[in-house]
Structure 1
């Protein structure tokens, strides 16, 4: 089994062990930065952890319920830029997913707010598109191998 797909490796793309990365946030500890919260929310989408997603969504914009049934198979995350001030944060990221026999991406400029010492997801401006990896590109599944020797053959 390759390291990228090991159950112990956190799905957020940090390369760290899940138990030392996003799991503490999923178990109730407060994420220390907007980027850490965003990564933990991505990991929660991968793990279909609705309760965590709703708990970390600001009450002003949080939906009353969240159904992840039919969600895409999220495969990798790239944080493009992250910044924060005392009570506001921004994270620009791109998340890749498998869509049927193809690939897609979700790119978002997310806004976060800190209240009572905790960061919350507030809102985001998103765009989506189809991803067309080249034969020699790194495979979007997160394996680290070239696309032509990984998922192109499947």
Structure 2
């Protein structure tokens, strides 16, 4: 999947272009300062097919050995349902979200409450806090 144009709307849903929103995290120019922004940048990485960023932003104790994205699945919209902690001066947090996708002419969503932590000073995804639900 090609990287979006720097001026294209960011897939995470914030009112900003890709380059100044999640693109700056994907490129490594900056680190996400909060757990919610890391969650948004991970959604955008799924949307643009950036597996390298997904692996870099995954906690070392839960990161899979490899990651292959389904080329027929398109992540199209993110809803942040809530967050707990995960701020600038915190070391742990949680973000509840619903991620919408299209696959094979069908639509669906994934609902997850995710755990995040700082590792070596950077926010990383740890894993789900409860079972992931596909609708």
Report if TM-score (shorter chain) is over 0.5.
yes
After the TM superposition, which of the residue ranges 34-43 and 62-71 deviates more from structure 2? 62-71
CA positional deviation for 1:7:
6.1
Aligned counterpart, 2:9: 9
Aligned counterpart, 2:40: 39
* Unpaired runs of at least 5, structure 2: 1-5
Residues of 2 paired with 1:67 and 1:107: CA distance?
Answer: 20
* Unpaired runs of at least 5, structure 1: 1-5, 130-154
Residues of 2 paired with 1:115 and 1:74: CA distance?
Answer: 27
Aligned residues: 124
Pairing partner for 1:106 from 89, 97, 110? 110
CA contact (8 A) 2:26 2:53 kept: yes
**Structure number with bigger Rg:** 1
TM-score when normalising by structure 1 = 0.76
Matches within 5 A, 1:13-28: 13-28=13-28
**Matched residue SS, 1:92:** strand
Structure 1 stretches of 4+ with a deviation exceeding 6 A read: none
